[in-house]
Amino acid sequence: MKVAICDDMKPVGNILEEMVMEYAKINHKKIGTEVFGSGQELIDYMASGYEPDLLFLDIEMPEMDGVEVGKQIRNDIGLKQMKLVYVSGYDGYNRMLFQNQPMNFMKKPCTRESVFNNLKLAEELLGVGDAIFHFRSNNIDKNIKIKDIMYFESVGRKMHIVLKNQIEEFYGTLKDIEEQLKKYDFIRIHKSFMVNYHQAQAFTKKEVVMNNGQHILIGRAYKTEVNHRLMDLAIKY
């Protein structure tokens, strides 16, 4: 696993790196680290091809803060699957942060326990990439990687599985699969739609913007639950 740390305070970045390496040593893990002193330095290095699996990103930085850095990483560089942990000395969080799909938030001074928990969570979520969704269509058993599913749409008695370049279908209901996929961060946003949080660019008050640019309306009856799920995902574990 590759871990990046970005903080304009060098001592904080160094302490985080030491904790990451301690976790790797204790758990016999192979973890590579890179420490950056500014958002621009991180962006430039990523633009050259560097793709970390996990990023600890300071929110309050001069010139380019964590909101803008996260936005560029997700939208301009296109790292959608990277796990992001925002680090801050404050308790309150800017609503804009949630559009960058953070895995978690961590308050300074960072504790050994919080760093270890986030490393463990990232490893678990990165492992989700191999999880499979099984279904039967036209009397044929099929398997699809869950990470590749953008969203499910209920159309009459059938379920559409929408991927980047194809659509599969089978007989079923969203209710049948909602609980099964909740642990993989799928969110029911409408009576007819359930989206993959990790395949969404942004959540607004009215809609979800998917990675392919598609806009899906959030049903009025689901808005409160969507907000709760987003908060749960942001502070997961």
What pLDDT was estimated at residue 99? 76
What pLDDT was estimated at residue 125? 80
Task: Please tell me whether residues 101 and 135 are part of one structural domain.
Answer: no
Which is more confident, 171 or 176? 171
Residue 191 has pLDDT above 90, yes or no: yes
What distance in Å separates the CA atoms of residue 161 and residue 151, rounded to the nearest whole number? 6
By percentage, how much of the chain surpasses pLDDT 90? 55
112-117: list long-range contacts, CB under 8 Å, 24+ apart. Answer: 112/19, 112/22, 115/16, 115/19, 115/20, 115/23, 115/56, 116/19, 116/23, 117/237
**Whether the model pTM is above 0.75:** no
Domain of residue 57, residue span:
2-128
pLDDT (mean) for 202-222: 94
What distance in Å separates the CA atoms of residue 51 and residue 82, rounded to the nearest whole number? 8
What distance in Å separates the CA atoms of residue 71 and residue 188, rounded to the nearest whole number? 24
Choose the final residue of a domain: 108, 128, 148.
128
Close Cβ partners of 221 (under 8 Å, ≥ 6 residues apart): 191
Task: Please tell me whether residues 54 and 94 are part of one structural domain.
Answer: yes
Residue 83 has pLDDT above 70, yes or no: yes
What pLDDT was estimated at residue 223? 94
Residue 131 has pLDDT above 80, yes or no: no
> pLDDT per residue over 12-34, tens digit each?
999 999 999 999 899 877 788 99
pLDDT (mean) for 123-145: 83
DSSP code at position 47: H
Choose the final residue of a domain: 85, 110, 128.
128
Mean pLDDT over each residue of the chain, to the nearest integer: 89
What distance in Å separates the CA atoms of residue 158 and residue 173, rounded to the nearest whole number? 7
What pLDDT was estimated at residue 237? 39
Alpha carbons within 13 A on the beta-carbon side of 31: 26
Residue 39 has pLDDT above 50, yes or no: yes
Choose the final residue of a domain: 68, 103, 128.
128
Q: Which helix (H) or strand (E) holds 42?
A: helix 39-47
